[in-house]
Amino acid sequence: MSNTRAIAEIGLLVYPGAQTSAVDGLTDLFSVANQIAAEQASAQLPVLRISHWRLDESGGQPLRTFDSQPGAASKLVAVLIPPSLTTLPASEVMQRLAAWVREHHAGGATVGSVCLGSFVLAEAGLLDGRKATTHWTRAKELAERYPRLKVEVDTPIVDDGDMITTAGLMAWAELGLRLVDRLMGPSIAAHTARFLMVEHMDSARECGSNFAPILSHGDAAVLKVQHWLQGNGAVDVSLSAMAERAGLEERTFLRRFRAATGLKPTEYCQHVRVGKAREMLEFTNGTVDHIAWNVGYQDPGAFRSTFKKITGLSPSDYRKRFGVSAPADKADQAAAL
């Protein structure tokens, strides 16, 4: 069956000091997902190829040292950086790791980190201007060492589309399940979580998973714009600015962007903004009007309408189900009447 199904390779970066239990656990999690998917007998579901990558002694980039599908030709659709139980790698090693991660991200791979793995993403410059999380004992160090990113110390996971950072040492399970959800669908993710007897934060949601942009389409010009939009939150952007960033004429950009992502640029921007709003509704007590303004909507009514169209819930209902306790938002209550 694997010969007729697409292959989606997930690379685990095994750096010096990486937690071996997380590497092995993720390998097993994806293997279980493959077994469950195989039982569905669907050619539409990909086969997850799990590979481990380690630095060699020659000073070059990491090399594949384990491969669950040896001999198959594929490129990485995701790179995961496990946590560390000790200290961070030396500066020279960090730079080599960062260069490798940066290269694959530029090629369309989603990148994810657990605990101290976020330091590698920060070293690569991928978190500049973005929010990220890490273990609470190293949050201050991360913020001081990389001042261009914003550390969300009280947030267990920051899912920013093309990058996912998690805080806890054991958060590798949630990171793995989110990738299974993206690549194989919520049903396979839920069955995998049930088989492993672990909780999946998205498994009980009725309003769909967080926005997972298509990054493996191979259009470098479009991918450049996608990374730019994820980085700036798709706030204060225009069609002309996106086309200029891509180096394309507007009509050509529109055609290629929709072909690559499945969405019009305006629709894509809405999904990015709503994704960031969902995170703020879950982990902050800001009013809905304030969140609307923060994600780029000057009209709170338009924000509420777009949010409900995408998630199926009003912002206030979403917060009640998935967010922290917060004072009642009178404006949102009035809008719901």
0.85 exceeded by pTM = no
**Domain span holding position 125:** 7-196
The pLDDT value recorded for residue 179 is 94
Q: Write down which residue in 196, 231, 259 finishes a domain.
A: 196
The answer as to whether 165 is a domain residue is: yes
DSSP 232-261: HTT-S--HHHHHHHHTS-HHHHHHHHHHHH
Same domain, 89 and 183: yes
Distance (Å, whole) CA 52 – CA 312: 39
- Whether the CB-CB separation of 318 and 208 falls below 8 Å is answered with no
Are residues 122 and 46 part of one domain? yes
Q: What is residue 59's predicted lDDT score, i.e. its pLDDT?
A: 72
Do 278 and 320 fall into the same domain?
yes
The C-alpha angle with vertex 184 and arms to 181 and 189, in degrees rounded to 5, equals 45
CA-based Rg of the chain, rounded to a whole angstrom? 20
Tokens 């590798």 appear where?
A: 172
CATH number at residue 253: 1.10.10.60
Both tokens assigned to 215: 């990054």
Q: Given this model, what pLDDT does residue 204 score? A: 41
Looking at the domain assignment, is residue 214 inside a domain? no
Structure tokens at 240: 């002309």
**Contact assessment for residue 174 and residue 202, using Cβ atoms and an 8 Å cutoff:** no
Q: Do 80 and 126 fall into the same domain?
A: yes
Q: Which two tokens stand for residue 290?
A: 């304030």
Q: What is the pLDDT of residue 279?
A: 83
185 with 305, same domain? no
Domain ends where: 196, 231, 261? 196
Spatial CB neighbours of 148, under 8 Å, sequence gap ≥ 6: 127, 128, 129
Compute the CA torsion angle 99, 104, 105, 109 (nearest 10 deg).
Answer: -150
Q: What is the CATH classification number for the domain harbouring 179?
A: 3.40.50.880
Please check whether residues 228 and 186 belong to one and the same domain.
no
**Mean pLDDT, the chain cut into blocks of 10 residues (337 residues total):** 76 94 96 92 86 85 91 88 88 93 95 95 95 92 94 88 90 94 88 86 52 88 94 92 96 95 94 90 88 94 94 90 56 46
| 84 touches 114 (CB < 8 A) | no
Question: Does residue 98 fall inside a structural domain?
Answer: yes
Question: Per residue in 119-130, is it b (16+ CB within 10 Å) or e — as a string?
Answer: bbbbbbebbeeb
Q: What residues pair up with 266 in beta bridges, in sequence order?
A: none
The per-residue pLDDT for 155 is: 85
With contact defined as beta carbons under 8 Å apart, do 176 and 29 qualify?
Answer: yes
Query: Are 78 and 176 within one domain?
Result: yes
* The pLDDT of residue 32: 96
